[in-house]
């Protein structure tokens, strides 16, 4: 059975957490794009994440996106 946690943080802290997760999504999306095309988007350098292929990178990005969506929906449900 999956265990759930209830964590209380201030609005600023949640914003920082979401920013960090969004950076991870971008990193994994860029990695997937690089693995698909062999080119760096817009010629910008970035660190490529360690994974097997673009499908894995897309899956990890989707996982981070789901976490962000879950957090945002819970925040919006707060009074």
Task: Return the pLDDT at 78.
Answer: 87
- Position 3 in a domain: no
Domain limits for position 36: 11-76
- Position 39 in a domain: yes
pLDDT digits (tens, 9 = 90+) for 12-48: 999 999 999 999 999 999 999 999 998 887 777 889 9
For the chain, the first-to-last Cα distance in angstroms comes to 30
Phi, psi of 36 (to 5 degrees): -75, -45
Task: Return the pLDDT at 22.
Answer: 98
- Position 55 in a domain: yes
- Given a contact cutoff of 8 angstroms between Cβ atoms, the answer to whether 46 and 40 are in contact is yes
Task: Return the pLDDT at 40.
Answer: 82
- Indicate the pTM of the whole model: 0.88
Number of domains making up the chain: 1
Higher pLDDT among residues 43 and 77, named by residue: 77
- Given a contact cutoff of 8 angstroms between Cβ atoms, the answer to whether 18 and 68 are in contact is yes
Q: Which two tokens stand for residue 50?
A: 């360690």
Q: Which two tokens stand for residue 14?
A: 């949640």
What is the rounded CA–CA span in Å between residue 7 and residue 70? 13
């Amino acid at each position: 059975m999956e265990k759930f946690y209830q964590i209380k943080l201030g609005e600023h802290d949640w914003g920082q957490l979401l920013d960090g997760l969004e950076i991870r999504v971008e990193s994994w999306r860029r990695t997937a794009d690089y693995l698909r095309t062999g080119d760096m988007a817009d010629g910008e350098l970035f660190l490529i994440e360690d994974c097997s292929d673009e499908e894995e990178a897309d899956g990890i990005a989707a996982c981070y996106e789901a976490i962000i969506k879950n957090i945002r929906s819970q925040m919006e449900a707060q009074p």
